[in-house]
Amino acid sequence: MAMKFLMFGVMLVGLRSSFAYNSGAPEQTCDSMTPGHTPFQPQVTTSPFTLNAFKTGVPGEVTIELRSRDNQQFKGFMIKAFRPGLNGDVRHLGEFGGNFHDFANKVECPLEQVLTHWNSQPKTELKFTWNAKENGNIQFRATVVQAYDIFYMNILSPVINL
Between the CA of residue 122 and those of 2, 28, 42, 112, what are the distances in Å?
36, 24, 19, 27
Residue 10: what pLDDT? 36
Domain ranges in the chain are: 2-161
How many Å apart are CA 138 and CA 83, to the nearest integer?
5
What pLDDT was estimated at residue 15?
37
Q: What is the pLDDT at residue 54?
A: 95
pLDDT of residue 84: 87
pLDDT at 137: 92
CA–CA dist 35, 156 (Å, integer): 17
Contact 108, 92 (CB under 8 A): no
Give the closest residue to 116 by CA, choosing from 130, 104, 102. 104
Q: Which residues pair with 53 in a beta bridge?
A: 64
**What is the chain's pLDDT, residue by residue, as a tens digit (162 residues)?**
544 433 333 333 333 333 344 555 555 556 667 787 878 998 999 999 999 999 999 999 999 999 999 999 999 999 999 888 776 555 678 999 877 767 787 777 766 778 888 888 899 999 999 999 989 999 999 999 999 999 999 999 999 999
DSSP secondary structure string for all residues of 24-60: ---GGGTTT-----TT-----SPPSEEEEEEE-SSTT
Cα 6 from Cα 2, distance rounded (Å): 6
Q: Quickly list H helices, 102-157.
A: none
What CATH superfamily is the domain 2-161? Reeler domain (2.60.40.4060)
CA distance 52 to 49: 10
For residues 62 and 96, give the distance between their C-alpha atoms in angstroms, rounded to a whole number.
9
